[in-house]
Amino acid sequence: MSDLSKEYRQETPMLDFNHPHIQSLVEQRKWANLSQYDAIGAIYNFVRDETRFGYNKDDRLTASQVLKDGYGQCNTKGTLLMALLRAVGISTRFHGFTIYNDLQRGAIPNYLFRVAPPRIIHSWVEVYQDGRWINLEGYILDKDYLKQVQSNFSNQSKSFSGYGIATKCLSNPEVDWQGQDTYIQNEGIADDFGIYTQPDDFYSNYGSNLSGIKKVMFRYVLRHLMNFNVNKIRTKGISNKRK
């Protein structure tokens, strides 16, 4: 494991943790001074809640670009999480999937839903702690957004899919770092593409979700409408007509 660990902690073009802005953040938060368990929790909470749920222009942004945006989704927030953990010497790896697009309904307005492919590239981060790999996926939705969905579907305590969520228990999903796996979309997984040491290698193989004119439309128009919708849910909740 010691030989492999160097690969799991290395910088890559996407995981650019030596970027001055990332190094400044790590120093400001003093994450390197924490125990490994506490550092994972502190960095995880930063990515989950201080990097808000939203749609970036591309899945293949570098960690420093995601940090600058201040928001992200499963793939881009995962890139930032991996980079920040590696910046303090914690081993991480990448697990690639697709998810069914239906779980995004609500977060993506219905009038834009026809643009989305049936299956969407998805990923989570695996972190090495106490001699084992732990799956981290519960960082995707910030708690302010998640609480609004929970509030508007308070009678839905069991399985739930929609608004960026696919979980067995909406009222108490496994999203808090407690040294165990965390999940928020895992019940919507369609395809499992396996584990990669570096996210760069995965995206070299699978690209991103859209291409051609749809990719251009998403980058310059559609994602801004989607982010407007997400921010409206976060601040005002979900109107009755959406339920």
Q: CA angle, 98 as apex, 192 and 55 as ends, to 5°?
A: 145
**Residue 151 · residue 236 · CB < 8 Å:** no
In this prediction, residue 158 carries a pLDDT of 79
Distance of CA 45 to the CA centre of its chain: 12
In this prediction, residue 204 carries a pLDDT of 95
Place of tokens 């981060």: 125
Mean pLDDT in consecutive groups of 10 residues from the start of the chain, 243 residues: 75 98 98 98 98 96 98 98 98 97 92 83 97 97 97 82 96 96 97 98 85 74 92 91 45
What would the two tokens of residue 193 be? 């593409």
Q: Say how far apart CA 23 and CA 16 lie, in whole Å.
A: 10
- The CATH classification of domain 2-235, taken from the options 3.40.50.1370, 1.20.1440.120, 3.10.620.30, 2.60.34.10: 3.10.620.30
Q: Residue 113: what are its φ and ψ, rounded to 5°? A: -65, -30
Place of tokens 């690969």: 7
Burial zone of 240 (CB within 10 Å; 0-12 exposed, 13-18 middle, 19+ buried):
exposed
Biggest CA pair distance of the chain = 55
In this prediction, residue 217 carries a pLDDT of 78
H-assigned helices in the chain? 2-8, 20-29, 36-45, 63-69, 74-87, 143-152, 199-206, 212-217, 223-236
User: In angstroms, what CA-CA distances link 217 with 22, 24, 72, 222?
Assistant: 30, 34, 18, 6
